[in-house]
Chains A and B, each alone.
Chain A
Amino acid sequence: MESSRRLQILRDVVAVTVVGIFMFPIFWWALTSIKPISAVFDKDRVNFFDFVPTFINYGVTLFGQSRSQLAIDQGLGMGVGGESAYDSRQSIMESVIISLGTTVITMAIAVLAAYAISRMMFRGRNGYLNWVLGQRFMPPIAILVPLVTIYKTVGLRDTDNLYAGYFGLMMIYALMNLPIAVLLMKSFLDDVPKDVDEAAMIDGATRFQTFRKIVLPMVKGGIAASAVLVFIFSWTEFLLSLFLTTEIRTVPVKIQTFVTSTGNEWGFIAALGTAAIIPSFIFILLVQKNLVRGLTLGSLKE
């Protein structure tokens, strides 16, 4: 008994250590965001806590404080150029618009398709399902190069028209998120017995009324979980937004602009990075229960 207790304690210690190792980069990142420059670039030792915390990095990136203020505060004679280049409020706005827009478009389209796949018997049902699933296998780069040319031709670039740029990016994000949304919603809809639909339609409701008034409320949780995942994937996307837009800079792309030829602005990078992580963290904790289902496109349930 004594030895099994010891073993249990050993397991606890190992478990906490392992999770601790995985949390370390996040901790270090958050710590870097409140460090003054001198502590970030400390070449003499690894500087954990030997500094006066500063929020100037957040001030500059999120609240539009002037960068020269930072130079004065920290007594640096560094260049004060690029005043507004670090103000990321615009980028955050753009990221929010893109992610929310994508989520709404994707979910609206996906729920309809998932309902038909789950509820109706029609020829080519499997073919359609495989078509949707096939999208998940396609590397985005395969359509990216022609897409840039197509967007240029039809004027969907953000340099032609800002709204068109938003639309163009949202649509391609919607396409990329479509498989996960459709398959996940199908899996949630499959959990609702078909008798429910039949009963409603016998009572005189149309297909669409049944769908909207009866079935949709029953899969609210599933819709929320899918929407959260779509939002997160759009929020974190990098490749497509890097290639397709120039005026619109989503947060992951914006951060890269802080890497300059004269050195990386680590304080700003970490501050904006930390700020970009927080919404994802909140969202992910909300959908813990359906996370496995989501990540495996509905094929595994927890």
Chain B
Amino acid sequence: MSANIASYPDPGTERRPWLPRWLASESPIPWLLPAAALMIVFGIYPLIYAITLSLYKKNAATRKMVFDPTHNWVKILGDDRVWNAIYNTFFYTGVALVFQLTLGMLIALLLDSDRKGYGVLRAMMTLPLVIPPAVTGMMFLLMLNGSFGVLSRGIIALGLLPTGFSILGTADTAMAGVLTAEIWQWTPFMVLIMLAGLRSLPKEPFEAAAIDGATAVQAFFKLTLPMMSKVIAIAVLIRGIDLFRAFDYVKVMTDSGPGTATETLTSYAGRIYFGNADFPYASTVALLTLIIVIVVSSTFMKLFRVKL
């Protein structure tokens, strides 16, 4: 063995003497550098820029930027639309998570079978996942149209809403409409992950429980759920991060309206940006979104001991 090593030159340094030592040796730097460069130039630098921007005050009339580090952050505290957006974002995230988790688990249990045809059903369930969310938004915009939308007409036919009622055009129901699209598209995500979790469960505890006379419901709550807790936590974390940046459906279906009924943090920042071109303030709202995500997700990860 040792003779074998000795018979070859050190692969890194001697075979390619023209290469600089740090490139030829065992250094991880050349491997890590491209990704690091991408993250610094297009991630860190804009982030620092955003923080700097948030410390400036833009004069609406003269379009001049003046250094005023507290202006935007104080403005946020007094801005009702920010609070409304925070509320909407949390509401959107919370409701979607509850629905997606519950439906996801139920459908996973339903589809977790080795019978013929279930494989096809499981594959079909993954299809909504890959539709561009902006297209999903359009789909539901069409189906929820008050006068000819198939979904709206179904609900109206059931007598739940008055004729011609516009779900997306009414402040009280617009959020529910947007959430329908969100829940439809991403419940399959939960189904998929829950199925993977269910399939990895050991068989023995369930056999033992069945011998002891436990019902299926008891086995689910006492065995399945606790054993799946890690999987569920990971699913909630990943989905939660994405839910918190909610934008596509809102932009496409209601454009944050009516009024500010469906305005999320991301769409509000976008509106400030497009509307009054107040870059510093748009940046501040965007940074606030980032801060909330960091605080909430790290708390969640600590609390539930999740690691990705």
Query: Chain A interface (Cβ within 8 Å of chain B)?
Result: 8, 11-12, 14-16, 18-19, 22-23, 25-26, 28-29, 32, 40-43, 46, 108-110, 112-113, 115-117, 120, 122, 125, 128, 131-133, 135-150, 171-172, 174-175, 178, 182-183, 201-207, 209, 232, 235-239, 242-243, 251-253, 255-256, 264, 266, 269-270, 273, 276-277, 280-281, 283-285, 288, 291-292, 295-297, 299-302
Contacts and interface: CB of A to CB of B under 8 A. Distances in A.
Given A284-B130, A292-B196, A297-B308, A273 B110 contact: no
Given A285-B123, A299-B308, A146 B49 contact: yes
A23 B308 contact: no
B interface, over-half SS: helix
Given A206-B16, A295-B189, A145 B148 contact: no
B199 A302 contact: yes
Interface stretch (B72-80, B217-225, B286-294): B286-294
Given A23-B127, A26-B127, A202-B8, 14 more contacts: A15-B111, A22-B184, A25-B136, A25-B139, A28-B150, A32-B142, A109-B35, A115-B31, A135-B43, A141-B245, A142-B287, A145-B282, A146-B279, A239-B247
B35 A112 contact: yes
A288 B129 CA distance: 12
Contacts of A115: 31
Contacts of A41: 148
B308 A133 contact: yes
A125 B269 CA distance: 35
A268 to B, nearest CB: 11
Contact of A43 (B38, B148, B307): B148
Interface stretch (B168-176, B203-211, B231-239): B231-239
A183 B293 CA distance: 20
A276 B139 contact: no
A137 B127 CA distance: 25
A292 B128 contact: no
B159 interface: no
User: Which among A141, A202, A237, A292 has the greatest number of chain B C-beta atoms within 10 A?
Assistant: A141
B247 to A, nearest CB: 5
Interface string B125-165: 11111111111101111110001101001100000000000
B38 A146 contact: no
B134 A238 contact: yes
Chain B: interface size category:
35 or more
A interface, over-half SS: helix
A150 B49 contact: yes
Contact of B283 (A145, A175, A288): A145
B303 interface: no
B213 interface: no
A256 B4 contact: no
B88 interface: no
B260 interface: no
Contact of B35 (A12, A182, A288): A182
A2 to B, nearest CB: 18
B32 interface: yes
Contact of B38 (A25, A28, A178, A297): A178
A25 B5 contact: no
B2 to A, nearest CB: 11
